[in-house]
Structure 1
Amino acid sequence: MKSSLGARAALVSLFVLGLILACWQIATLPKREASHTTMTAEQIEYAKLMGQPTPDQRATQRHDGFPTPSQFFAVAADNLAHPFYDRGPNDKGIGIQLGWSLLRVSGGYLLAALFAIPFGFLIGMSPLLYRAFDPFIQLLKPISPLAWMPIALYTIKDASTSAIFVIFICSVWPMLINTAFGVANVRKDWLNVARTLEVAPLRKAFQIVLPAAAPTILTGMRISMGIAWLVIVAAEMLVGGTGIGYFVWNQWNNLSLPNVIFAVLLIGVVGMLLDLMFARIQRKVTYAE
């Protein structure tokens, strides 16, 4: 039954993809001028001198600059064929740019996990600490991560490290809140049994509380990764240098719209793969009651 449903879903997805490509192709068809548009020989010569299109050129050329599907796939194939070239600061392959972004996300995300999970575990097990720190969490959580960028640049004085700090500050809150919530809502029956059996606190934390709270913790980690990958693109547009966000901004400045579209779709693909990775881990730690 599940395999049949998956096959039908795949067919629907392929149909939707084909529909999108067809609409894209139709929307980028060459626009032709009315056939009655005529110019004298002198007007045609003047148009060529001024760099303006002649009637024949208007009939066969597009001027809005949006790529056709074939133009986009040609650019995508070229980027994927040579992903790791390095021709200077402003001309690096998409593989290098993507690697820098993933490196920054990994650094900030791991720092957030090392802080948020133990601290969330601590305040989740203590109602006193939970109430004491909740106002600070609720105050800092809504602040846009990019609002921290000027402060980070001023204090750290390094663009790449500042981007890692921004990833840290945006990743820490979902992990912290979900860890504290998951730990605080472990079933009381299990804790009472552990208390009756006089289980040591450390053993209770690792063998009872942590497995019970693991699905909620993984949910927070999954949300944090999605936010981190979202924020790194905007952060790299601000700090420049390297990264997929900088690649998008640089290609826009070069008026290379096919490269911009390719990078945007690649960002989506990488984000989807990261989410699927966490979804698979989450299923492994989720139990059925």
Structure 2
Amino acid sequence: MNATVQTPVAAPPSVTRPAPSSMPALTLGARLRPYAERVLPPLAVVLALMGLWEVVASGPGATLPPPSKVWADAHDLIVDPFFDRGGLDKGLFWHLLASLQRVAVGFALSAVIGIAVGLLIGTSKLAMRGLDPIFQVLRTVPPLAWLPLSLAAFREAQPSAIFVIFITSVWPIIINTAVGVRNVPADYRNVAAVIRLRGPAYWWRIILPAAAPYIFTGLRIGVGLSWLAIIAAEMLIGGVGIGFFIWDAWNSSNLSDIIVALAYVGLVGFALDRLMALAGHLVTRGTATV
């Protein structure tokens, strides 16, 4: 019997897989570069303007103080905005806080009423024909023109200032909300009709999400107008507030204090705009731009 000789089969050579190349870690400079690109250009412009201001205001016949004199005159006001010596002798923090409280109340009222009226106008052609011409006329009235009527009606400074804020900021909220509702895509409405979505569910799931970018645009414009209105109103109604502080500094010929207060006003206004833009970006999941 012949024995069958089996030739051993060689094992396949093992394939050595290269180790995955690890991504090089970003250096500190690379991580900070995006922030530097956003911060350095405006910072350079501000420094250039400050230098130009220093040169121009230091010349003969200049009527405004240069930055160096502003720092010398208002040093205590800048480094300690939290002092409170009683009465109206307070730091800028307390004046800004009083103004922001008035803005919060007036703007909240304008947001609630403005969105509700905007939804009504956007969905009802009859309401739009009746109310839109009136709103277009009233929104052109300057904010301070409402102050005498509000003082006559409320007979107190605080509610009068809140009313001026409300009547100033409500119009862009109404108009943008109405435009957003009218621009809801027809496909969304057709889908709601197919699945028989009616009542509050229709508003919460179809109308409001689709109109949200327009609504937040109106809110963003409204909060900026609210801040503008309260500064002007406080100059006339008095009391604690950044507007009254500016007017009181003018009566005392403290130009340096006015310049410092204006810088705070601008920074707070910028912060309010950014916060509202961020809120819109988060609520609309990126649809509303920051």
TM score, norm. by length of structure 2: 0.82
Is 214-223 or 87-96 further displaced after alignment? 87-96
Q: 2: CA distance between counterparts of 1:93 and 1:14? A: 26
Distance across 1 between alignment mates of 2:265 and 2:109: 22
Cα contact 1:214–1:286 (8 A) shared by 2? no
The residue identity in structure 2 corresponding to 1:205 is W
Say which SS state the counterpart of residue 172 (structure 1) adopts: helix
Q: CA deviation at 1:124?
A: 1.3
- Secondary structure of 1:193's match? helix
The match for 1:263 is 261
2:66 & 2:139 partners in 1: Cα distance? 42
Equivalent residues of 1:175, 1:217 under 8 A apart: yes
Q: d(CA) in 2 for partners of 1:30 and 1:171?
A: 42
Deviation at 1:228, TM superposition (A): 0.7
CA displacement at 1:96 relative to structure 2: 1.1
Change (3 A) 1:94 1:201: same
1: distance between equivalents of 2:46 and 2:190? 54
Matched, 1:11 2:40: yes
Where in structure 2 are the equivalents of 1:61-210 lying within 5 Å?
A: 66-210=64-208
Tell me if the contact between 2:180 and 2:211 (Cα under 8 Å) persists in the aligned partners: yes
Choose which of 28, 43, 52 in structure 2 pairs with 1:23.
52
User: Conserved in 1, the CA contact under 8 Å of 2:103 and 2:230?
Assistant: yes
How many angstroms does 1:265 deviate by?
Answer: 1.0
Partner of 1:278: 276
- 1:73 CA displacement: 2.6
8 Å contact 2:144–2:233 — kept in the other structure?
yes
- Unpaired runs of 5+ residues, structure 2, are 1-29
SS, match of residue 89 in structure 1: coil
1:76/1:196 CA distance change after superposition, 3 Å? farther
Q: In terms of mean alpha carbon deviation, does 179-188 or 212-221 score higher?
A: 179-188
Moved more, 217-226 or 276-285: 276-285
* Partners of 1:2 and 1:283 in 2: CA distance: 24
Size of the alignment, in residue pairs?
257
Deviation at 1:137, TM superposition (A): 1.1
Greater radius of gyration (CA): 2
How many Å apart are 1:123 and its aligned residue? 2.1
CA positional deviation for 1:12: 2.4
Secondary structure class of the residue paired with 2:280: helix
CA RMSD, aligned part only? 2.2
User: What TM-score, normalized by structure 1, do the two folds share?
Assistant: 0.82
CA distance in 2, matches of 1:122, 1:2: 49
| Higher deviation after alignment, 234-243 or 86-95 | 86-95
Aligned counterparts of 1:2 and 1:232: Cα–Cα separation in 2? 41
Specify the code of the residue in structure 2 equivalent to 1:78: D
User: Equivalents in 1 of 2:66, 2:142: separation in Å?
Assistant: 36
SS in 2 for 1:252: helix
Structure 1 letter corresponding to 2:213:
P
Between structures 1 and 2, the one with greater helix share: 1
Contact 2:57-2:63 at 8 Å conserved across structures: no
Give the aligned residue type for 1:172: V
Give the 3-state SS of the residue equivalent to 1:227 in structure 2: helix
- 8 Å Cα contact 1:90-1:250 kept in structure 2: no
Structure 1 vs Structure 2: percent identity of aligned residues?
42
